[in-house]
Structure 1
Amino acid sequence: MTTGHRLAGKILRDRRFGVRFSDGSYPVNGGLLPESFLELDPPDHTRLRRLATPAFSPRRIDEYRARVEKVADALLDRDEFDLIADFAAPLPISVISDLLGVPDSDTAEFANYGALVAASFDTGVTAEMAGANDKVLALFDRLIAERRRRPGDDVISSLVAAEAERKLTAQEMLGTLVLLLVAGFETTVNLIGNGTRALLDHPAQWTLFKAHPELAPAVVEETLRWASPVQLTSRIAHERVDGIGEDEMVTLLIGAANRDPEVYPEAYRFDVMRVHRPEHLAFSSGIHYCLGATLARMEGDVAFRALARKMPDLRQAGPVTFRDSVVIRGLRSFPVSRS
């Protein structure tokens, strides 16, 4: 186990570490999710990630920004609300649904599903999780069948085309889609919730940001460092490395690494003017660096700007509740008021 930023970053970038044991098995917790490239080492990880990458190109992300801004403004047309349920969750769900080409009528299942999947990291599979999993897999099966008949300009269509060219299997396609859905939702909802709470808990920082909305990207980065949505990950040594034996697992405490005082002066302080050198590890590093990092950053940027512009007198209106999770740092509820 390590809490240090430099060592954690080094391990994440070291090709002598992977995510599977030497016999090919994966240290799962009994989850129901179909296998995705997140649970694979090269060469399969490289092959599948390459197929999903075009959906997250800078050009595509720029194309989504106007829609994200429109959705954010519409969601903030209210006086009292729960920041998580009414803003932080619907925003990324709308975006990832667009990206995947999922009809609006089917997006209601997604927010609940994302939260249940995150909970399963700690609690294992529940009956509720199994039911939600069956519904989402059935939805993707239906959408895949539709795209085979009528391709469109979305991720599902591009993966269906790749399957036809034998670049991936049907099961690999399903695993990729579920990963993009869960990852596209989970990081962003907690980024928005954690960042808004940090700003309101630090009035001077909130005032500074409202006066200088161009600091939105800095708010995003400091939130990711100070309250990392994903608090830990692990890697498995593929060979003996500096006293770590083959097939030994190392747990990397990302939340602690991002507050390492040897890297970040006064690391416990939330400071939007902080210079992030080196980069935080909230999106991991190395070959498993978060594929949707650019999208999450853009959504966080838009969300914080919209809150500062439309709700400059935003305040907490009741006690917050936290997610009951070791892996995920985020809020379950966050009642707020416009004034």
Structure 2
Amino acid sequence: MLEQLTGHEDPHPIYERLRAHGPLTRDEDGMWVTTGHALTNKILRDRRFGVRYADGSFPDDGSPLPQSFLGMDAPDHTRLRRLATPAFSPKRIDHYRTRVEKVADSLLDSDEFDLIADFAAPLPISVISDLLGVPDADTADFAAYGALVGASFDTGVTPEMADATDKVLALFDRLISERRRTPGDDVISSLVAAEAEQKLTAREMLGTLVLLLVAGFEAMVNTIGNGCRALLEHPEQWQLLKSNPDLAPAVVEETLRWAPAVHLTTRIAHEQVDEIGKGEIVTLIIAAANRDPEVYPDAHRFDITRPHKPEHLAFSSGAHYCLGATLARMEGDVAFRALARRMPRLRQAGEIRYRESVVIRGMRSMPVSRS
């Protein structure tokens, strides 16, 4: 049933058809799927499920990218995640906020622009570049490469994506070599130090850096884009934000619930768990769980005053809870405050083009005007 979806259509009617069969069901292709918030959260937290098979093997997606800790179970996941954690300390995030605010203001000087290409994309790439210590001279190429690598979630491995991967890895190889000679105060330097202490391999370091690039870029581009579109399609909510910019964090949370960037993820049973057999794959429909009517009253309504208890699952849950969640929330907060303050008469000014993906949901282009 999920294979019937396209990237631009509303997938929620299909999710609701699946929900009618209960929180766990098999779709028409025999695939286990979850739609309920409680069960999805439970499986994400259950150590009897993993992202790999019980023997440690991994479903081959054909990607040339080095494997990151996102595709690993404990203990490797725990070890590598711990090495990346210092980059997201409260002190660092406070430092990033000042830069994000300056960048956001600098991007909102045009009367007409593309919300995605001219605002939602350059904003997070500036943060990732700062976090990783990418020189300003490489930032434009870095953004282009990151977008192409991220697009592989939609299209699979294409010649363009393979070329982008080669360039991303070459850039990281160069930066790693530079940090070995002259360490700095950035993530690459800290990982180089960890490699010298044999806490990770060179390949694992590359996998971690690519993950930070793609995850940080893709998640925020789509969160900012999806949130802005939701606000403009719900004028009363847009008015609420404009009259009270302190609702910006609530806009972030409701966007993550109502229109998350990632709709689906999977887990593999390492042993028999109730009716799910060992080695069987479960598709967790995060977007359906986020609109579970047993958790969120009037779940299909976009409402920035909604209390978010329990928390939505846009950042996953359990061991794989998004490492950069606090940073992402800060970026979204800054972005929506800036739009409300600088663009109070913002409107859509052209046709939206959507990504062709059933996993990562967002827009490729959204022309807007400030008046």
The match for 2:57 is 25
SS in 1 for 2:266: strand
The match for 1:262 is 294
AA aligned to 2:137 is S
Equivalent residue in structure 1 for 2:348, among 306, 309, 316: 316
Once residues 145 and 118 of structure 1 are traced to their aligned partners in structure 2, the CA distance between those partners, rounded to angstroms, is 25
2:314 equivalent to 1:274: no
2:152 equivalent to 1:120: yes
Once residues 235 and 154 of structure 2 are traced to their aligned partners in structure 1, the CA distance between those partners, rounded to angstroms, is 34
Equivalent residue in structure 1 for 2:278, among 246, 249, 264: 246
Quote the offset at 1:110 in angstroms.
Answer: 2.8
Once residues 256 and 169 of structure 2 are traced to their aligned partners in structure 1, the CA distance between those partners, rounded to angstroms, is 30
Quote the offset at 1:63 in angstroms.
Answer: 1.1
Once residues 118 and 168 of structure 1 are traced to their aligned partners in structure 2, the CA distance between those partners, rounded to angstroms, is 24
4+ residue stretches of structure 1 with deviation over 4 A? none
* CA deviation profile, 1:82-102 (whole Å, cap 9, x unmatched): 000000000000000000000
Quote the offset at 1:47 in angstroms.
Answer: 0.3
Unaligned runs of 5+ in 1: none
The match for 2:163 is 131
* CA deviation profile, 1:48-74 (whole Å, cap 9, x unmatched): 000000001122111110110000000
* CA deviation profile, 1:194-235 (whole Å, cap 9, x unmatched): 000100111000001100000000000000000010010000
- Kept after mapping to 1: 8 A contact 2:292/2:299: yes
2:44 equivalent to 1:12: yes
Once residues 245 and 200 of structure 1 are traced to their aligned partners in structure 2, the CA distance between those partners, rounded to angstroms, is 45
Once residues 335 and 164 of structure 2 are traced to their aligned partners in structure 1, the CA distance between those partners, rounded to angstroms, is 28
Once residues 23 and 188 of structure 1 are traced to their aligned partners in structure 2, the CA distance between those partners, rounded to angstroms, is 34
Task: Tell me how many residue pairs correspond in the alignment.
Answer: 339
Equivalent residue in structure 2 for 1:155, among 179, 187, 193: 187
The match for 2:219 is 187
- Kept after mapping to 2: 8 A contact 1:118/1:328: no
Equivalent residue in structure 2 for 1:105, among 137, 148, 162: 137
Once residues 172 and 251 of structure 1 are traced to their aligned partners in structure 2, the CA distance between those partners, rounded to angstroms, is 27
Quote the offset at 1:191 in angstroms.
Answer: 0.5
Once residues 296 and 329 of structure 1 are traced to their aligned partners in structure 2, the CA distance between those partners, rounded to angstroms, is 17
2:104 equivalent to 1:76: no
2:368 equivalent to 1:336: yes
Unaligned runs of 5+ in 2: 1-32
The match for 1:299 is 331
2:253 equivalent to 1:237: no
Question: Which 10-residue stretch deviates more, 321-330 or 24-33?
Answer: 24-33
TM-score by length of 1: 0.99
The match for 2:122 is 90
Once residues 84 and 34 of structure 1 are traced to their aligned partners in structure 2, the CA distance between those partners, rounded to angstroms, is 28
* CA deviation profile, 1:233-286 (whole Å, cap 9, x unmatched): 000111111121111110001111111111111111000000111100001000
* CA deviation profile, 1:114-144 (whole Å, cap 9, x unmatched): 3323332242200000000000100000000
- Kept after mapping to 2: 8 A contact 1:81/1:335: yes
- RMSD (CA atoms): 0.9
